[in-house]
């Protein structure tokens, strides 16, 4: 059963698209046809669906989310579009290694701060990432703003970088993505 109490993130949510463009972000992180991405806390597929469109038949999206409703919604949307390259799991990211050493990108879409045990989730991410692959952590800046989760729930860039490093990654870049978010990339 889901313990997540935040808002559901629907794929193609027009309100969210006013402040976040998933296609632009996925292009910016270098997602290309044929790659493998693991979307941890994929929700309703705001990033997973555009990723599946970009990756094409030879690529693969793995997704996990604790919220069965979001996963089932994403499954229906993918089926409606004829996307066969999305494999989804309902469950806790703390217990999920979706594939071993297979992912070109392990992606966290505004959710690292949501997990009960982010350390364990990041250790799992390390198992999923192939050598040379990138961990990508997109999250809310810890600053007052009109949108997003309560300030005390958020990880600052430094908090997130510390957690990512403690799980055995090397942070390679941290940058702003628009006014509300930062993006951290890291490698094994």
Q: Which residues bind ligand SAM (CB under 6 A)?
A: 2, 4, 6, 9, 41-43, 46-47, 64-67, 70, 92-94, 109-111, 114-116
Q: Which residue number, 74 or 129, has a Cβ lying nearer to ligand SAM?
A: 74
Q: What is the closest distance, in whole angstroms, from the C-beta atom of residue 150 to ligand SAM in the complex? A: 13
Q: What is the closest distance, in whole angstroms, from the C-beta atom of residue 57 to ligand SAM in the complex? A: 24
How far is Cα of residue 64 from the mean position of the Cα atoms in its chain? 9
Q: What is the closest distance, in whole angstroms, from the C-beta atom of residue 34 to ligand SAM in the complex? A: 23
* 67 DSSP 8-state letter: -
Q: Which residue number, 127 or 170, has a Cβ lying nearer to ligand SAM?
A: 127
Per-residue HEC secondary structure of 41-90 comes to CCCECCCHHHHHHHHCCCCEEEEEECCHHHHHHHHHHHHHHCCCCEEEEE
Q: Which residue number, 132 or 160, has a Cβ lying nearer to ligand SAM?
A: 160
Q: Which residue number, 137 or 157, has a Cβ lying nearer to ligand SAM?
A: 137
Asked if 54 contacts 31 with a C-beta cutoff of 8 angstroms, the reply is yes
Instruction: Look at residue 28 and give its three-state secondary structure.
Output: helix
Q: What is the closest distance, in whole angstroms, from the C-beta atom of residue 171 to ligand SAM in the complex? A: 20
Which pair of structure tokens corresponds to residue 80?
């409606």
Quote the CA–CA distance of 134 and 172 in Å, as a whole number: 9
């Amino acid at each position: 059963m889901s313990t997540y109490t935040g808002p559901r993130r629907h794929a193609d949510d027009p309100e969210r698209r006013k402040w976040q463009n998933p296609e632009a972000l996925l292009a910016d992180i270098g997602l290309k046809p044929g790659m493998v991405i693991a979307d941890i806390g994929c929700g309703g597929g705001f990033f997973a669906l555009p990723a599946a469109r970009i990756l094409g038949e030879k690529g693969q999206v793995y997704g996990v989310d604790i919220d069965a409703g979001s996963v089932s919604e994403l499954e229906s949307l993918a089926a409606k579009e004829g996307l066969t390259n999305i494999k989804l799991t309902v469950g806790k990211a703390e217990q999920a290694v979706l594939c071993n050493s297979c992912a070109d990108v392990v992606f966290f879409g505004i959710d690292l701060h949501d997990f009960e045990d982010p350390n364990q989730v990041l250790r799992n991410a390390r198992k999923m990432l192939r050598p040379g692959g990138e961990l990508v952590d997109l999250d809310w800046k810890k600053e007052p703003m009109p949108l997003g989760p309560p300030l005390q729930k958020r990880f600052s860039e430094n908090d997130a970088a510390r957690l990512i490093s403690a799980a055995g990654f090397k942070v390679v870049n941290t940058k702003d993505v628009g006014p509300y978010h930062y993006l951290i990339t890291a490698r094994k």
